[in-house]
Amino acid sequence: MNSVSEHTDTDHAYLDWKDWQEGAFGTFSPKDAAYYTLELKKLGIRLDADSRVLEIGFGNGSFCGWVRKRTQHYIGVEANPALLERAQQAGIVAYPSTQPLSAVVAGRTFDLVAIFDVLEHLEIERILDLLRSCRDCLASTGGILLRVPSGDCPFSAPLINGDITHRTLLGSKALVQLAKMLGLEVVAVRGQAFPVLGMGLATAMNRTAVVAGRAFAARLINAVYNGNERMVVDMNLVALLKRP
């Protein structure tokens, strides 16, 4: 495992802005747990003790912590040296994103490659390079799970414009285009899972109303603006890519 490079003021400033506290690394809330459980279930992804998971850009480690309750076969890659150090201090196998992914995986294959909220920080050529490297380390039945602000959605501006490090906005058709360029199949592309259960009765009632409102708004927007073509009008878009 490579040692962590020297931190910069910019690295720490980003963590402060995100409010990612050192003591909270690798923790996840009941809301996080409900989300990850539902997201993977809706995509047909099952994790067990033998599942091999690679995460690109693990941030403050909420998905990492949740996954490690299910399997210890987890490897993470991260661009921020301070976050990388936190992961390594927690005993997690983690590498800097400056290291080629082929060297990181060292011939290993993975059942799941997770990329949450990363691609929007990259230019198109870097996105293609990253997805190509992820494709090459997939197990035969493995998949790439990614989440990005939805370029289909008229309401995603606060997400994409709310971080000065964002570079690219991808819609569902652009993801299909990228997948075809890489010889991958888009198995699913839809809005982010929005769990109702698992966070208490009051939250369940509130979220039930939100689900109904979003469904109505999505149908209306797609009918009025998209010719009834089904576009992802949620603020976040989730996709699962696999080999054909």
3-state SS track over 158-175: HHHCCCCCCCCCECHHHH
Q: For residue 76, is pLDDT > 70?
A: yes
List pLDDT tens digits, range 200-226: 889 989 999 988 998 888 888 888 888
- Band (6; pLDDT cuts 50, 70, 90): low
State the CB neighbour count (10 A cutoff) for residue 158: 9
Average pLDDT over residues 66-70: 97
- Band (227; pLDDT cuts 50, 70, 90): confident
Residue 57's nearest CA partner among 84, 30, 24, 37 is 84
Predicted local confidence at residue 151, as pLDDT: 94
Q: What is the dihedral of CA 75, 53, 36, 243, to 10 degrees?
A: 130
Predicted local confidence at residue 1, as pLDDT: 46
Tell me if residue 236 falls in helix, strand or coil.
strand
203, part of any domain: no
- Locate tokens 């976050």: which residue? 83
DSSP 235: S
Which residues have C-beta within 8 Å of that of residue 50, sequence separation ≥ 6?
A: 71, 73
List pLDDT tens digits, range 118-138: 999 999 999 999 999 999 999
Predicted local confidence at residue 2, as pLDDT: 47
Q: What is the distance between the alpha carbons of residues 50 and 71, in angstroms, rounded to a whole number?
A: 6
- Band (78; pLDDT cuts 50, 70, 90): very high
199, part of any domain: no
89, part of any domain: yes
Q: CB of 185 within 8 A of CB of 243?
A: yes
Mean model confidence pLDDT for the chain: 93
In this structure, which amino acid lies at residue 17?
Answer: W
224, part of any domain: no
Q: What is the distance between the alpha carbons of residues 85 and 79, in angstroms, rounded to a whole number?
A: 11
In this structure, which amino acid lies at residue 178?
Answer: L
168, part of any domain: yes
Q: For residue 88, is pLDDT > 70?
A: yes
What is the C-alpha end-to-end distance of the chain, expressed in Å?
33
State the CB neighbour count (10 A cutoff) for residue 142: 22
CA-to-CA separations, 191 to 39, 75, 235, in angstroms, rounded: 10, 26, 7
CATH of the domain at 42: 3.40.50.150
List pLDDT tens digits, range 12-67: 888 999 999 988 999 999 999 999 999 999 999 999 999 999 999 999 999 999 99
Domain of 84? 9-193+231-242
Q: CB of 56 within 8 A of CB of 138?
A: no
Q: Look at the chain and report how many structural domains it folds into.
A: 1
216, part of any domain: no
Predicted local confidence at residue 68, as pLDDT: 97
Burial class (CB in 10 A: 0-12, 13-18, 19+), 239: buried
221, part of any domain: no
Predicted local confidence at residue 33, as pLDDT: 96
Find how far residue 11's CA is from the centre of its chain.
20
Q: What is the distance between the alpha carbons of residues 25 and 8, in angstroms, rounded to a whole number?
A: 19
Predicted local confidence at residue 3, as pLDDT: 46
Q: For residue 243, is pLDDT > 90?
A: yes
- Helix ranges (DSSP H) in the chain: 9-18, 30-42, 62-67, 81-89, 101-105, 124-136, 157-160, 172-181, 201-225
